[in-house]
Structure 1
Amino acid sequence: MLVASGICKTYRQGVWPFRRRTKVLDGVSVSLGPGEVVGLVGENGSGKSTLMQIMVGALPADTGAVDVHGSLGFCPQRPVVFERLTCDEHFELFGVAYGMSRDERADAQRRLYEELDFRRYARERADRLSGGTLAKLNLALAMLPDPPVLLLDEPYAGFDWDTYLRFWDLMARRRGAGRSILVISHFIADEERFDRIVELRGGKAFQK
């Protein structure tokens, strides 16, 4: 469903004449098969978010290639929302952007409100939501069109225990439907929930 191969990325840091080059990713390859949940772990600065941004096309790689089969959903670590829009208005806006019909969007919206338990905030503006509810909206917007491939960057940061369990119920149903999921996390406590775990270390990818 998704294959990233030979990904290299170097950043230039500092000012001339003291500018230096730091290689963050050095030939990293990661694959994601149908019905597979893969964890991507690593220390801060290991290149996890950089790799995910390259996978979704938000950042160019220096070398390497990313091949995606089907549409792709992306839940960034920092929510991309509009402060003055309500949750309902976000769903309407993103539904149009995804090319969904009104009925498709409404059905998916109702389901996600129920599955993530935040229907009571439907008419609340984004700038008035708690961090946990904002994280729910961020995840729901990525899942709205039910994409075959879902890339999640620290998706459950800010979730309470009940929402954390709801999250994994959702992922289990997606896995059962043949969807593919990549989850970035600083650390992974529940390894049994993943089919594979890949660790970024020193610019390289290692299978755990």
Structure 2
Amino acid sequence: MAVSDSAVPPFGSEGPAPGSVLVAEGIEKSFRRGWWPFRHQTPVLQGADLMLAAGEVVGLAGENGSGKSTLMKILVGELDADAGTITRHGRLGYCPQQPVVYDRLTCDEHFELFGRAYRMPAEAERRSRRELYAALSFERYAGTRADRLSGGTLAKLNLGLALLADPELLLLDEPYSGFDWDTYLRFWELVAQRRAVGRSVLIISHFVADEQRFDRIVDLREGRVVPR
């Protein structure tokens, strides 16, 4: 599989690349199932195509087991596809379905660590951190270790880390699982703000509510992405 990333702009640069920020074409993926000598290849993705334009919010829906998370992992480079091409433009933010955090680090320490990984200036990281604490209302947990956070607060941290560097392309896998109603509304406020400044967001879920909040919704069926 070929993956092409445009040059990532320096932190704080203006706006995403023009046109499409993500183009995936002909993505195929199969997994081996069963035990020898009865092992066989089970196709999950069979030529899936997906495109995101700058400033677009897209929902990707599908039944459990349809391959949504597999496609997401391929899009972010966590998993290799068997075939296909992916082209991305700009900085990527990824919120996995299961938070990837360090139990003994506090929320503040996670933001500092991820800020260094993104090569953010220290002041820019602290400013973004403060804004995310306020936007998602969990600043009182800044000094709390990850292993002492509730599931809902851990989900806020997971989302906050994906948003920290203001990515041009934000990929979210079941992002609002565990959110209460207030946080759910705050989440959509953040998404609307990103759309307004030309950022792109892909949200995958086994079902999509509030369809009016999306520019497009597509479904993953029989290994292919189809318009709704």
TM-score bucket of the superposed structures, by smaller chain: over 0.9
Q: Matched residues in 2 for 1:99 and 1:15: separation?
A: 45
Residue aligning to 2:40: 20
Counterpart of 1:27 in 2: which secondary structure? Answer: strand
Structure 1 Cα separation of the partners of residues 91 and 133 of structure 2:
22
User: Do structure 1's residue 54 and structure 2's residue 95 form an aligned pair?
Assistant: no
Give unpaired runs (5+ residues) of structure 2.
1-20
Deviations 1:81-118 (A, max 9, x none): 00000000001110001100100100000000000000
Residue among 187, 190, 196 paired with 2:216: 196
4+ residue segments displaced more than 2 Å:
none
Inter-partner Cα distance in structure 1 for 2:84 and 2:218: 18
Q: Distance in 1 between matches of 2:26 and 2:91?
A: 22
Deviation at residue 189 of structure 1 after TM alignment = 1.3
**Aligned equivalent of 1:147:** 167
CA distance in structure 1 between the aligned counterparts of 2:213 and 2:184, rounded to whole angstroms: 12
State TM-score, norm by structure 2.
Answer: 0.91
What's the counterpart of residue 205 of structure 2?
185
Q: Match of 1:84, SS?
A: coil
Q: Distance in 2 between matches of 1:140 and 1:198?
A: 26
The answer on 1:134 being equivalent to 2:154 is: yes
Instruction: Tell me the C-alpha RMSD between the 2 structures.
Output: 0.5
Residue 186 of structure 1 deviates from its aligned partner by 1.0
| 1:1-208 equivalence runs, <5 A | 1-208=21-228
| Percent of residue pairs bearing the same amino acid type | 65
The whole-number CA distance in structure 2 between the counterparts of 1:71 and 1:87 is: 22
2:111 counterpart SS class: helix
Matched residues in 1 for 2:84 and 2:199: separation? 24
- Secondary structure, aligned partner of 1:55: helix
Q: How many residue pairs align between the two structures?
A: 208
Deviations 1:105-160 (A, max 9, x none): 00000000000000000000000000000000000000000000000000000000
